[in-house]
Amino acid sequence: MEDTHTLSIPDDDQGERLDVVLARHAGLTRSAAARLIDEGRVLVDGQNRKHAFKVAQGMRLVWSIPDEVPSMLEPSALPLNIIYEDDWIIVIDKPPGLVVHPGAGNMRDTLVNVLIARYPDMAAVGSRERPGIVHRLDKLTSGVMVAARNRDAYYSLAESFKAHAHRRIYLAVCYGRMPQDTGRIATLINRHPVDRKRMSSKVATGREALTNWQVERAWKECTLLKLRLETGRTHQIRVHLSDMGHPIVGDGEYGGTKRAHALRDPVLRGYVRTIERQMLHAHVLGIKHPATEEYLEFVSPLPEDMRALIALLDERAGL
The answer to the question of residue 288 being in a domain is: no
Same domain, 224 and 310: yes
Single out the residue of 42, 34, 36 nearest to residue 59, CA to CA: 42
The answer to the question of residue 298 being in a domain is: no
pLDDT of residue 70: 46
Amino acid at 316: R
Number of H helices, E strands in the chain: 8, 13
| Phi, psi angles (nearest 5°) of residue 33 | -65, -40
CATH code of 152's domain: 3.30.2350.10
For the chain, the domain total comes to 3
Which is higher by pLDDT, 2 or 311? Answer: 311
- The SS3 of residue 90 is strand
The answer to the question of residue 208 being in a domain is: yes
| Phi, psi angles (nearest 5°) of residue 107 | -95, -15
Task: Please write the tens of the pLDDT for every residue from 8-67.
Answer: 999 888 999 999 999 888 877 777 788 788 788 899 999 999 888 999 999 999 998 776
Same domain, 107 and 243: no
CATH code of 53's domain: 3.10.290.10
Same domain, 234 and 120: no
Single out the residue of 7, 18, 13 nearest to residue 57, CA to CA: 13
Same domain, 58 and 94: no
| CB-side neighbour CA atoms (13 Å) of 128 | 15
Same domain, 176 and 309: yes
The answer to the question of residue 149 being in a domain is: yes
Average pLDDT over residues 175-194: 94
Same domain, 132 and 196: no
pTM more than 0.85? no
Same domain, 153 and 174: no
User: So which residues are the catalytic ones?
Assistant: 138
The answer to the question of residue 291 being in a domain is: no
C-alpha to C-alpha distance for 194 and 315, rounded to whole angstroms: 40
Same domain, 123 and 251: no
C-alpha to C-alpha distance for 172 and 245, rounded to whole angstroms: 14
Query: Is the confidence at residue 1, as pLDDT, over 70?
Result: no
Final residue belonging to a domain, choices 158, 178, 209? 158
pLDDT of residue 128: 76
Expressed in angstroms, the distance from the first to the final Cα of the chain is 64
Average pLDDT over residues 64-90: 82
The answer to the question of residue 76 being in a domain is: no
Query: Is the confidence at residue 155, as pLDDT, over 90?
Result: no
Final residue belonging to a domain, choices 66, 100, 119? 66
Same domain, 228 and 109: no
- What's the whole-number average pLDDT of the chain? 91
Query: Residue 139 CA to chain centroid, in angstroms?
Result: 10
The answer to the question of residue 23 being in a domain is: yes
Same domain, 58 and 175: no
Same domain, 108 and 148: yes
CA angle 115, 121, 125 (to 5 degrees): 80
| Phi, psi angles (nearest 5°) of residue 165 | -90, 55
Domain of residue 259 covers 169-283+304-316
Same domain, 250 and 194: yes
The answer to the question of residue 71 being in a domain is: no
Among 44-53, 135-144, 220-229, name the one with the lowest average pLDDT: 44-53
Single out the residue of 41, 201, 209 nearest to residue 18, CA to CA: 41
pLDDT of residue 125: 87
Three-state secondary structure readout of 49-88: CCCCCECCCCCEEEEEEECCCCCCCCCCCCCCCEEEECCC
Query: Residue 23 CA to chain centroid, in angstroms?
Result: 15
Average pLDDT over residues 275-296: 97
Final residue belonging to a domain, choices 14, 40, 66? 66
Query: Is the confidence at residue 69, as pLDDT, over 50?
Result: no
